[in-house]
Each structure stands twice: as C-alpha cells, then as structure tokens.
Amino acid sequence: MAEPDSALLSLNTATVRAQWDLPSIIDGCARHNIRGISPWRDQVARAGLKQSASRIRDAGLVLSGYCRGGMFPAVDRESRRAALDDNKRAVDEALTLGAPCLVLVVGGLPKDRDGIIRSKDMHGAREMVRDGIGDLLEYARPAGMPLAIEPLHPMYAADRACVNTMAHANALCDELGTGLGIAVDAYHVWWDPDLQQQIERAGNASPSRLLAYHICDWLVPTTDLLNDRGMMGDGVIDLPLIRSWMEAAGYRGMHEVEIFSADNWWKRDPDDVLMTVRVRHRDAS
Amino acid sequence: MAEPDSALLSLNTATVRAQWDLPSIIDGCARHNIRGISPWRDQVARAGLKQSASRIRDAGLVLSGYCRGGMFPAVDRESRRAALDDNKRAVDEALTLGAPCLVLVVGGLPKDRDGIIRSKDMHGAREMVRDGIGDLLEYARPAGMPLAIEPLHPMYAADRACVNTMAHANALCDELGTGLGIAVDAYHVWWDPDLQQQIERAGNASPSRLLAYHICDWLVPTTDLLNDRGMMGDGVIDLPLIRSWMEAAGYRGMHEVEIFSADNWWKRDPDDVLMTVRVRHRDAS
C-alpha cells in the first residue's frame, strides 16, 4: 500500500481541543505543515467567525469540513424548528469559512429541552432525521453548501446519531437528492461487513457522495464510549485498507484526524500530538 | 401490547453471577418461580456437569440455552483446532443439560495464545468464523444440538464477535445450512434499522432460525462497554416492540434476561434482583 499524500492530512480541531483554543490550533497546524483543518462551531464562536476565517486563510490552510450540524430529533415541534434555525446558521458559518461541507451528526432518540431522552421510537427518530435533513437541504442546496451525513457507531444510536451505517446514509442520499453526501469516519464504520460495497455505492453516485474521510483508531480495550479513541496505528482498524477503498471509489479529498482522548492525547503536549499525527498519517493510515 | 407470558421468563445466570454460584441460582429461580435458566460453562464446571443437570431437572427448570461456545478465530491452526475441540465439549455438555441450543459468541480478530489481537484482517476473521461454525456443525448436527449464532453489538467486533448484525447471521445460516440458527439479544441488535426485516427472515426459514431471545436494556449514558447493561425498563430499548416482532415471526420460546452490571445489579441482594426481573419482565418487556 502506497503511503498517503502528506498534503492531504487535515486536523479535526477536537484532537487538541483540551490544550489549545482555535487560534493556537491554526498556528499549530501551520507550524507542523498540516494543510487542512476542520474546526468546531463552539471554537469558532469563541474566536469569532470572521476572525477565524481570516486567520485560517492567512495561515494557508484549507477546511476539510465544518463540525457540525444535525441533532434534528426533539420531542416538540418548536424545538425541532429551533434546531433547524441553528442548522441554517451553521450553513452560513460554513460558507463564511469556505468549508467544503457541513458535517451532520443527525441526533438520536428525541430529547426534551433538558436533554433527557423522552421516546423509545427509533423509527420516529429516523423520520425526524430524514425530514430535518430535507428541510435543511432546501436552505443549503441553493446556498451551495453540501451536507455530509456522518454515520456514527451504533453505540451512539440512542443519544447522538440514529444513522449508524453507510447503507442507511446512502439510502437517505437516494431519497433526498443532490446536495447531500456522506462523511466516512473509519472509527464509526470499520466493523461493517458491508463497508467496501457501501463506499463504492457512495463513490459511484453522481456527483460522488464521498465528502469527507475521518480517521483515528479503535483501541482494545476501549475504556470509554466517548473519549477513548486511539491514534492511528495504536488500535485494530486496517486504515490503509479502508483508504484504498475510498481511493478506489474516487475519493481524492483530505484525511481528517479526529481523536477524542480524555486520558491520553488530550493530556499531552499538543505539539507532540501534531508531530505524532503527521508520522502516523504517513506510517499507519 | 399484551403482557408477556410469565412462564416464558428465563434467567441467564450471568445476571447474578457475582452473588451466587450455580446451585444457589437454581434454588433462587425455583424460589422466585422463574421456570427457565441459561447457565454458563464456567459455573457448570465448578458445580459439576451431572450434578448441575440433576439439580436443574429436580428444581423443575428448563434450559433456554447454554452459554457458550464460539471464539473461533486464532492466529495459528493449532489454536483453532483447540477451539474446535473445546466447542465439541460444549456441545456434549449442552446435550447432557438438555439445552435447546448452544449459544455461539463467535470471536473477533485473531488472537495469539496470550489473548493479544495479532491481526487487523476482519474479512479473514469472518472466514475463520464461517469455517469454524461449519466444522462444529458436522459434530453438532448429527448429535442433535442446534447452534445459535449470537450477533453482538458492533462495539465488540474487535475482541468478542465479528458477527454484529442479524443480516450477517442470516447469511451464515443460508450458507451453512440446517442445525444453525440465531440467538437474538435485544441489547446487541436494537439499534439496527434492518432488525424487524431480519427477524422475519429468520422466522420464515424452515425450520425457524429463532432459537433464543435475550433481553436487558441500553442505558444512557452507558459507562462501560462490558458491564453496564440495564434492567428492562431502565433504558431506551422498546422491548415490547421487539418482542412483538419475534412473536410475529413465530417465536414461542423463552425470554432470557441477561444483565452484566458490575456497579448496580451485581452489587444488590440477588433475591431483590430476581424479584425485579419478574416485575420488569411483566411490565417493561
């Protein structure tokens, strides 16, 4: 397997969010010659939208995505409307930042305004997701901002995303039409025996649905459902194989490293983290 | 939704394994009028196979399954042969105990003899699983002991079972033929948008592949990947809905309660646990 092009390396800012604010992360990427970045909304809000856009541009970085929209299901109509409005603002921000797509973490079972799950109706939640994406597409499509559904690992089905497979994401793209694609995150989908076929299906669509590719690793044991993701090479995912499937399906975009790691990488010197990201992108991705 | 028949309640012995040995669990089931039991091999080994069989029979209990065979992948041929031999012993034990099926947790990525994962080849692991089940079927089928593949949640794909969906289990049944079926555990498969359809597919096979039905609940948040399962009603799974799918597909077997819960149910008075199991089976399953 050929090494990946180092120019395709991108940093999802969550990877060093515990140590650095967004301006520091931008500077860090520039210093470590990481050309891509994918910032989170809360970090952009703190640093200022226009200031962040300028700083990213001035540092010579490009976005591989913008994190994130979604979270469509809610128990009442008013909350769902509020979620839609907030998603429209996320589209606007993504446009200002020059993002290639807005990543959608679609939400799980409907919650009340205190964030408590109030329904066990997964089918209904999935209908709310479909309808929410459909509504948002009416705003994002004419604005020229592609939406990227990120299927999350099934262990997040209840509380974060009830779209958990590439097949489901592809089906939503079939149903909802242009302007919608998929963010493939190896951590979430590596286990799926249908993965290669569904990547092919997404790549064969016209235009291609393969809007983003996220990488990190699955650790054994995994000690926390949320914040125990591994650096590439430290776990069990055959990342070069999945990259080869993405490339065979026509994907030429960036490789975005996104590592939530409360007890390890978030506790390290962030310059060491970025150096490790570079090396592992080359040697283990 | 009608209440489930209380005569169909069964206790997987893992639910109180921290508090009681197998003889105590058998006595507890009898005392609480729980008519089904599904013991684990290690407990049976400690209590004696023939003694356990007699004690279960004398208490008027029936088995809903025997836990467990499987763990087929390994890095070397000798270890795979040792796993097959051990699985044959599990079949013999299941016959002695009068189990309706031997539950298979099929294993994940190949490990060495120290239990360390030594390969990232999921496709290869799945071939080892298929071949291992095929070999075991040659022993179990003439002996009259059905094998029940238990698809595990994808969060166990690396280290416990690389069969993670009902669709995959059904495909293995298609390929390997009679004598093989499925143990449907709601905890592992509840998130799957294809679940109802795959239960139907399993039930429509002749003979039916629906050999066992396990229940517990998915907690939000889940604080541990292994041992934080919930009592029925304490989580987000619509258990009456899934039971209705099992019944519509022709399943008339037991409802086996299997709860791994290091910080909660394993710390409680086991008689209280069994009382709660009875109530929640009636009210929340």
CATH number at residue A98: 3.20.20.150
> How far B28 CA lies from chain A's nearest CA (Å)?
32
Q: What is the pLDDT of residue B1?
A: 73
Q: Answer whether residue B100 is part of any domain.
A: yes
Q: How far is CA B263 from CA A74, B18, B25, B153, B280, in A?
A: 31, 11, 20, 21, 19
Q: What is the dihedral of CA B117, A282, A24, A268, to 10 degrees?
A: 30
Return the DSSP state at A190.
T
Task: Return the number of CB contacts < 8 Å for A and B.
Answer: 79
Q: What is the pLDDT of residue B163?
A: 98
Structure-token pair, residue B257: 């309660």
Q: Answer whether residue B40 is part of any domain.
A: yes
Does residue A33 belong to the interface with chain B, where contact is any CB pair within 8 Å?
no
Q: d(Cα A179, Cα A143) in Å, to the nearest integer?
A: 10
Return the DSSP state at A40.
B
> How far B101 CA lies from chain A's nearest CA (Å)?
26
Q: Answer whether residue A212 is part of any domain.
A: yes
Q: Answer whether residue A1 is part of any domain.
A: no
pLDDT digits (tens, 9 = 90+) for B190-228: 999 999 999 999 999 999 999 999 999 999 999 999 999
- What is the radius of gyration, based on Cα positions, of chain A? 18
* B282 Cβ neighbours under 8 A, 6+ residues apart: B3, B4, B6
Substitution target in B119, B236, B242 with the highest count of A β-carbons within 10 Å is B236
Q: CB B108: neighbour CB atoms within 10 A?
A: 27
pLDDT digits (tens, 9 = 90+) for A46-70: 999 999 999 999 999 999 999 999 9
Q: What is the dihedral of CA B219, B225, B228, B232, to 10 degrees?
A: 50
> How far A285 CA lies from chain B's nearest CA (Å)?
13
Q: Note whether B158 contacts A218, CB cutoff 8 Å.
A: yes
Does residue B198 belong to the interface with chain A, where contact is any CB pair within 8 Å?
no
User: Strand A102-105 vs strand A66-70: parallel, antiparallel, or unpaired?
Assistant: parallel
Q: d(Cα B239, Cα A230) in Å, to the nearest integer?
A: 34
Domain count, chain B: 1
pLDDT digits (tens, 9 = 90+) for A68-81: 999 999 999 999 99
Band of the pLDDT at B242, cuts 50, 70, 90?
very high
Structure-token pair, residue B164: 């993670």
Substitution target in A117, A120, A162, A194 with the highest count of B β-carbons within 10 Å is A120
Q: What is the pLDDT of residue A43?
A: 98
Residue B174 has pLDDT above 80, yes or no: yes
Percent share of chain B, pLDDT over 70: 100
| Partners of residue B233 in chain A, C-beta under 8 Å | none
pLDDT digits (tens, 9 = 90+) for A206-233: 999 999 999 999 999 999 999 999 999 9
Q: Note whether B236 contacts A158, CB cutoff 8 Å.
A: yes
pLDDT digits (tens, 9 = 90+) for A91-148: 999 999 999 999 999 999 999 989 999 999 999 999 999 999 999 999 999 999 999 9
Q: d(Cα A159, Cα B181) in Å, to the nearest integer?
A: 31
Least CA distance to A240: which residue of chain B?
B120
> How far B53 CA lies from chain A's nearest CA (Å)?
36
Q: Answer whether residue B120 is part of any domain.
A: yes
Please name the residue that has the structure tokens 């469509």. Answer: A72
Please name the residue that has the structure tokens 């509380």. Answer: A159
For A117, the 3-state DSSP assignment is strand
| Partners of residue B121 in chain A, C-beta under 8 Å | 238
For A191-257, what is the HEC assignment? Answer: CCCCHHHHHHHHHHCCCCCEEEEEECECCCCCCCCCCECECCCCCCCCHHHHHHHHHHCCCCCCEEE
Q: Answer whether residue B1 is part of any domain.
A: no
Least CA distance to A239: which residue of chain B?
B120
Does residue A242 belong to the interface with chain B, where contact is any CB pair within 8 Å?
no
> How far A161 CA lies from chain B's nearest CA (Å)?
10
Does residue B109 belong to the interface with chain A, where contact is any CB pair within 8 Å?
yes
Band of the pLDDT at A1, cuts 50, 70, 90?
confident
Residue B104 φ then ψ, to 5°: -110, 115
Q: How many helices (H) and strands (E) does chain B have?
A: 10, 9
Contact by Cβ (8 Å): A4, A282: yes
Which residues constitute the domain of residue B274?
6-284
Q: Answer whether residue A181 is part of any domain.
A: yes
pLDDT digits (tens, 9 = 90+) for B26-53: 999 999 999 999 999 999 999 999 999 9
- Out of B121, B218, B225, closest to residue A158 by CB: B218
Contact by Cβ (8 Å): B265, B231: yes
Q: Note whether A122 contacts B157, CB cutoff 8 Å.
A: no
Q: Note whether B191 contacts A117, CB cutoff 8 Å.
A: no
Q: d(Cα A85, Cα A179) in Å, to the nearest integer?
A: 18
Percent share of chain B, pLDDT over 90: 99
> How far A157 CA lies from chain B's nearest CA (Å)?
6
Q: What is the pLDDT of residue A2?
A: 86
Q: Note whether B220 contacts A164, CB cutoff 8 Å.
A: no
> How far B19 CA lies from chain A's nearest CA (Å)?
25
For A25, the 3-state DSSP assignment is helix
Strands (E) across chain B are located at: 9-12, 36-38, 62-63, 66-70, 102-105, 147-149, 180-185, 210-215, 255-257
| Partners of residue A117 in chain B, C-beta under 8 Å | 220, 236
* A247 Cβ neighbours under 8 A, 6+ residues apart: none
Q: CB A281: neighbour CB atoms within 10 A?
A: 25
Does residue B45 belong to the interface with chain A, where contact is any CB pair within 8 Å?
no
pLDDT digits (tens, 9 = 90+) for A158-171: 999 999 999 999 99
Q: Answer whether residue A250 is part of any domain.
A: yes
* B229 Cβ neighbours under 8 A, 6+ residues apart: B187, B216, B217, B218, B219, B258, B259, B260, B261
Of B108, B72, B164, the residue nearest A194 (C-alpha): B164
Structure-token pair, residue A63: 């976005």
Percent share of chain A, pLDDT over 90: 99
The pTM of this model reads: 0.97
- Burial of residue B1 (CB within 10 Å: 0-12, 13-18, 19+) is exposed
Beginning with the edge strand found earlier in the chain, give each strand of the sheet holding B62-63 in spatial order. B62-63, B36-38, B9-12, B255-257, B210-215, B180-185, B147-149, B102-105, B66-70
Q: Please compute the mean of the pLDDT values over residues A42-46 and round it to a whole number.
A: 98
Q: d(Cα A161, Cα A173) in Å, to the nearest integer?
A: 16
Q: Please compute the mean of the pLDDT values over residues B185-194 and round it to a whole number.
A: 98
CA angle A153, A40, A25 (to 5 degrees): 115
Q: d(Cα B37, Cα B61) in Å, to the nearest integer?
A: 7
